[in-house]
Structure 1
Amino acid sequence: MLRAPSTDLSRIVQRHMRLLAAAQAMSTATFQLVPALGGVMFLHLTGDVALTGLALSLSGLGQILTAYPAGRLMDRVGRGPVFAASGGAGAVAAGLVAWAFHAHSAWAVAAAILLLSAVTAPLRQLSVAAADMHPPELRGRAVGFLFFGSAVGALVAPVVSSAGTRVAGGDLASIPWTWLAAALLQVAIVPLMRGLRPDPLELGRHVHAGSVAGTPAGRELRGTGLMPAAVATYAAQWGVMTLSMALAPVVMRTHGHAVSDIVWAIAIHSVGMFAFSLPLGALADRVGRLPVMVGSLLVSGISTYGSVAFPEFWSATLFLFLVGVGWSAGVVASTALLSDLTSVGERGRRFGIAEFAGRGAVLAYPVVGSLLVGRLGLAGVGVALALSVAVPAWLGVRGAGRGQHRWGSVPAEPGS
């Protein structure tokens, strides 16, 4: 059993969190390139506007295919080895994207993006390791700190793209160089994740032995519906956020806004997604997961509707910013609740299920939303958003009532 003085243990955890945050930033920078460049790449290679959304669809499909198996593998061999292998495989896949575009092969680009998304899916579950190393009363902050690394990654992506443009001397010529730079970022993740020693899985087993899920209180909570509520909130937040990204820019463009204005609106949306994750995580620790989850659903649902219904620049931008804040609060709180309700030995699998549901929502919401707008207009979108808010909220309220779970409480783990 791992035995370490609390000061030494705290130092190990802080070091691991810095490594995870750095990996989060680098992986986010790579993930951002798919929506940023994917449509441009397919438009250039095929000349067909209808195929510009193919990159995002392939990205979601790749993540769905490997989310759960990656979680199971993390529970078996540890977090660090899976993350390191994902970074190495991601470097190869990013290099293949660069080669495929340079070879002017749309089919090869499609296959490479699918491969990239599949092999890097574990890097979307870095929060599992953060949750392993913290007791329930600190998990919201830990997940929020990790998500803040995504804000850095969101800034790295355009820097990488601009550097590629300077090297290549042109926008389209820079795309292969940009993907090669992303491959280097993925390579850098490997030593970072190999440095997670002792592995967060071991820290979770020995430092927080007897997690909530293993106690009578934890078993009671797991049977109340809180687990479905956490997964449903996680998936709904991803779906609603993606729906806003699919509809709002199109509506803004049809109302005469310049492309540069739309880019700024999306950038401000990204600030909302990541910049406030740490205080929102602290809020989830202080007042409880469920109030933050329900509040986040209301904010995201109302703001997504507002971003489409009020397409003036400042109103749409404000609503998109609030969509980002709602997404951040909901994902952080639901991630913390999932961690509270699972033992360390099954946490990877449970997060794999949540990630599978979230990626499914990413694929489904834009398609369903577009159909509803075309057939029913804003009323159809409103109904879909209302259901997206009501179902997870109802599951949470029902689960809290059945388990007599105090909304503002976070159960403590024995030995933490």
Structure 2
Amino acid sequence: MPRESAQTGASQGSAAVPGTRGRRENEASRLQRRIIPILVSGQILGGIGMGATLSLGSLLAAQLSGSNSWSGMAATMSTLGAALAAVPLARLAQARGRRVSLSTGALIAGTGAITAIISVGLGIFPLLLLGLMLLGAGSAVNLQARFAATDLSRPASRGRDLSIVVWSTTVGAVLGPNLFDPGEAVGAVLGLPPLTGAFAFSVAAQLAAAAVYAGGLRPDPLLTAMASRARDAAAAPRPQGGLGVLRSNPRARYAVATVALSHATMVALMSMTPVHLRDHGASLTVVGLTISLHIAGMYALSPLFGWMSDKAGRLPTILAGQGMLVVSLVLAGVAADSRAAVTASLIFLGLGWSASVVAGSALVAESAQPQDRPALQGVSDLSMNVSGAAGGALAGPVLAATGYSGLGLASLTLVAIVIVWTALQPRHTHREEEQP
């Protein structure tokens, strides 16, 4: 081939690549705009399903076991179920895509609600615990959905996309508990045992969520992102798996630890606040208002923190979140006898959790290649659930030994670890400019 022709061909080839890439970027942006509403809809339905049943779980546990001491097993089994489902659902996503993984998790949660209804009808306490554990898969789905929002997002909008899906959890969390009375009315019509009517709503909500994911996530965002990267690479890199990424990637270790430790801090203080308030004479109305304001802090401003993590950076947003956690814990430590201070502490606790988890999750999503992301995200969700369970379990003995003030000040240790680790991070965040 003449040199001039060869140069012309090379020039045309190099020009074609950006053109092809541009078309793929436009297609990915169009797909992303459609995927976010699908994920939001699934999150709302899933949140309704979880919120309508988890509070009743403790009542049913006490009823079937015959002892109030077993009531805490409802939350324990749900958390255990979420932890056990995290990695298998992540592996399913890696092999079959988000559509199959999220819809399967929702169906498992629906099966858990059915199992809980049957357990009450038969009066079998262990079967109730199994049902609540299966319901925990719904929490694992909610966590994975926030990562699904990042599969095709651009680095400059990754935090925002993730935070919108996190925010949508608020809708289900608020609506779900308000379905107790309607659930009992429906349950009476269906002939269900007392206190199980809301589980019928949970079954319907989880089935609807599964249908939304199965029907709406086409083409699958994760499979699309993985296929695009394979086309761009001369040879697609071999997947390392979640643990492999943690071993080889310091930024991934930091991101996963930040999410887990922030969650443990939040659960430790939040889980003991109702006990502390009741011991100091607060009414159930005050307790409920305090927890409601805390939940609002967790989710209501998450889009703001997502925007902040995109504009100011992941690390500054994480530091801001840790700063709010410090304010919360110091208030709990020095003003535990003031209901106003405890309420303010819980609000800052929710805000600090939100900023830290939104920015930390965005950092988890961009700390691995597309083919490794589901595995790393599964490990992150597993760590988050296990850390939360450990924080809640250890908070009780700490509260008994040192009081609410001691619990707040002791929890500062977890925040200090994240702050020091953040200070040791390189001040630039390498954002992988992958093409979807």
> Equivalents in 1 of 2:265, 2:109: separation in Å?
27
> Equivalents in 2 of 1:102, 1:71: separation in Å?
34
Contact conserved, 1:242 with 1:362, CA < 8 A, in 2?
Answer: yes
Query: Could you say which residue in structure 2 is the equivalent of 1:323?
Result: 349
One-letter amino acid matched to 1:397: A
Higher mean displacement: 64-73 or 50-59: 64-73
Contact conserved, 2:332 with 2:404, CA < 8 A, in 1?
Answer: no
| Structure 1 residue 83 displacement after superposition | 0.8
Equivalent of 1:26, from 37, 40, 45? 45
> Tell me, which stretches of 5 or more residues in structure 2 are unaligned?
1-19, 238-244
Whether 1:281 aligns to 2:306 is yes
Whether 1:268 aligns to 2:293 is yes
| Structure 1 residue 338 displacement after superposition | 0.7
Higher mean displacement: 125-134 or 97-106: 97-106
Query: Could you say which residue in structure 1 is the equivalent of 2:387?
Result: 361
Query: Could you say which residue in structure 1 is the equivalent of 2:133?
Result: 114
> Equivalents in 1 of 2:410, 2:255: separation in Å?
19
**Structure 1 residues 82 and 223: alpha-carbon distance in aligned structure 2, compared to 1, 3 A threshold:** closer
**Structure 1 residues 34 and 270: alpha-carbon distance in aligned structure 2, compared to 1, 3 A threshold:** same
Query: Could you say which residue in structure 1 is the equivalent of 2:209?
Result: 189
Contact conserved, 1:28 with 1:153, CA < 8 A, in 2?
Answer: yes
How many residues align? The count is 404
Equivalent of 1:389, from 415, 423, 426? 415
SS state at 2:149 partner:
helix
| Structure 1 residue 258 displacement after superposition | 0.5
Query: Could you say which residue in structure 2 is the equivalent of 1:15?
Result: 34
Higher mean displacement: 352-361 or 380-389: 380-389
Query: Could you say which residue in structure 2 is the equivalent of 1:241?
Result: 266
One-letter amino acid matched to 2:204: L
> Tell me, which stretches of 5 or more residues in structure 1 are unaligned?
215-219
> Equivalents in 1 of 2:288, 2:383: separation in Å?
28
Whether 1:203 aligns to 2:227 is no
> Equivalents in 2 of 1:347, 1:106: separation in Å?
38
**Structure 1 residues 167 and 198: alpha-carbon distance in aligned structure 2, compared to 1, 3 A threshold:** closer
Equivalent of 1:180, from 200, 209, 229? 200
> Equivalents in 1 of 2:400, 2:168: separation in Å?
38
One-letter amino acid matched to 2:180: S
Whether 1:312 aligns to 2:331 is no
Whether 1:349 aligns to 2:375 is yes
SS state at 2:423 partner:
helix
One-letter amino acid matched to 1:260: T
**Structure 1 residues 253 and 379: alpha-carbon distance in aligned structure 2, compared to 1, 3 A threshold:** closer
| Structure 1 residue 3 displacement after superposition | 8.5
Contact conserved, 2:106 with 2:141, CA < 8 A, in 1?
Answer: no
| Structure 1 residue 221 displacement after superposition | 12
Whether 1:337 aligns to 2:356 is no
> Equivalents in 2 of 1:75, 1:2: separation in Å?
24
> Equivalents in 1 of 2:175, 2:23: separation in Å?
37
Q: Indicate the structure (1 or 2) with the bigger Cα radius of gyration.
A: 2
> Equivalents in 2 of 1:79, 1:297: separation in Å?
31
SS state at 1:310 partner:
coil
Give per-residue Cα distances to partners, 1:105-125, cap 9 Å, x unaligned: 222111111122247623421
Give per-residue Cα distances to partners, 1:184-211, cap 9 Å, x unaligned: 0000012211120110113323556769
| Structure 1 residue 223 displacement after superposition | 5.6
| Structure 1 residue 372 displacement after superposition | 1.7
Contact conserved, 2:293 with 2:346, CA < 8 A, in 1?
Answer: yes
| Structure 1 residue 377 displacement after superposition | 3.5
> Equivalents in 2 of 1:368, 1:221: separation in Å?
26
Contact conserved, 1:251 with 1:311, CA < 8 A, in 2?
Answer: no
Give per-residue Cα distances to partners, 1:198-243, cap 9 Å, x unaligned: 10113323556769x98xxxxx999663222211111112111211
| Structure 1 residue 381 displacement after superposition | 2.2
SS state at 2:219 partner:
coil
Q: With structure 1 as the length reference, what TM-score do the two structures score? A: 0.88
> Equivalents in 2 of 1:185, 1:70: separation in Å?
19
> Equivalents in 2 of 1:382, 1:120: separation in Å?
27
One-letter amino acid matched to 1:196: L
Contact conserved, 1:268 with 1:320, CA < 8 A, in 2?
Answer: yes
Please provide the CA RMSD for this pair: 2.9
Query: Could you say which residue in structure 2 is the equivalent of 1:217?
Result: none
Q: With structure 2 as the length reference, what TM-score do the two structures score? A: 0.85
> Equivalents in 2 of 1:185, 1:92: separation in Å?
12
SS state at 1:257 partner:
coil
| Structure 1 residue 314 displacement after superposition | 2.6
